[in-house]
Structure 1
Amino acid sequence: MLLETYRMEIFNNECMPGAMTVQCFAHLDQDVSAALPYLNAELGGFSYIEDPPSVTFKMHGKLLTVHGRKIAVNALKDEMEARKIVEWLKREINGAWENRETLTPRYEGMPRPQVIQILKCLPKTNCRECSEPTCMVFATRVAEGVKDSGDCPPMTAEAKQSLDDYMAAFSVGSDGIPW
């Protein structure tokens, strides 16, 4: 096992003191730098930096960044959610490291969904039924992974399938994210 222990630091965003979310740093007691290209290959990182190594993922509207000695997670409801995500990442890091012989390390981020391509699938009525002010904002939220075709009531079944097919090309990694 590569990553065994860490210390959690939960804090409010100093730039937005009234925010309803918290941030988290997990200070890792073991250096996981060598596992990051394998973790990136396994989960499809949004961005990857080689020096110093880090990989960032966008999942469920959150940014998760894994550095050699630290994990950073934003937009958390509470400490319990932070612990679930860090424990999940710990399992993923250790799994990628244990399976490194069967993985091809990846030293770049995955391609990103294009907002304009997503917008082409939408009805472009700006109806606000999705709780977003415009279809362009909704498309941006889909690209971020926060919304999906099911969140747009006016979309036809054909348009939903088209959007789901397009977004499937950007889905990589674990079968189930447990939070």
Structure 2
Amino acid sequence: MLRSYRIEIFNNTCMPGAMSVQCFAHLDQDVSEALPYLNAELGGSEYIKDPPSVTFKLHGKLLTVHGRKIAVNANKNEEEARKIVEWMKREINRVWESRQAITPRYEGMPRPQVIRILKCLPKTNCRECGEPTCMVFATRVAEGIKGGDDCPTLTPAAKADLDAYMQPFAVGVDGIPW
């Protein structure tokens, strides 16, 4: 389905001092028909029907796939951006080839609730995780940036509870090469 694209790497003009680069991959083929299958397989956080697009939150990045464009934010450098686009190209082609075995999904996945995550945390605001408060840490967990292993004071029972709660939101993210 997706054979080729042209990549555009740029710095965020709104934040010229940012230490990351943004990326657009302009697709030479329209992948709109694959988007509901991609959404079903990778668990998109947001799905828009018209015009079709699906957004994924993976490892602290937002990846949005449109019919003729892939947008990736917060890349460390151009090499990382290229790896992510190539991974997404492979995923688009994989789900398209397997579409008979996939039930398409036309809405985004439910989002983790920050308050529910906070209930699992010690709420001491100890800063040992590198965040200023447990609320900020909970937000980072909801965004997929942090996890239970990143809280040094989390009890094993609380970690198990947090991991169990977060498991449904981790659909399809295994095997990401970056």
TM-score w.r.t. the length of structure 1 is: 0.98
Q: Distance in 2 between matches of 1:80 and 1:39?
A: 24
Q: Distance in 2 between matches of 1:80 and 1:118?
A: 33
Aligned-pair identity in percent equals: 79
Amino acid at match of 2:108: G
Q: Is the CA contact (8 Å cut-off) linking 1:43 and 1:172 kept in structure 2?
A: yes
Q: Distance in 1 between matches of 2:173 and 2:109?
A: 15
| Pairs within 5 Å for 1:1-179 | 2-179=1-178
Q: Distance in 2 between matches of 1:172 and 1:147?
A: 16
Flag as ranges the 4+ runs of structure 1 deviating above 6 A. Answer: none
Amino acid at match of 2:176: I
Amino acid at match of 1:124: K
Q: Distance in 1 between matches of 2:152 and 2:45?
A: 28
* Gap regions ≥5 residues in structure 2: none
Superposed CA RMSD = 0.6
Structure 1 residue 96, shift from structure 2 partner: 0.6
Q: Distance in 2 between matches of 1:174 and 1:57?
A: 10
Measured against aligned partners, the alpha-carbon deviations of 1:46-72 in whole angstroms (never above 9, x if no partner) come to 000000000000000000000000000
1:35 match: secondary structure: helix
Q: Is the CA contact (8 Å cut-off) linking 1:42 and 1:174 kept in structure 2?
A: no
Amino acid at match of 2:35: L
Q: Distance in 2 between matches of 1:119 and 1:141?
A: 11
2:158 match: secondary structure: helix
Structure 1 residue 175, shift from structure 2 partner: 2.9
* Gap regions ≥5 residues in structure 1: none
TM-score w.r.t. the length of structure 2 is: 0.99
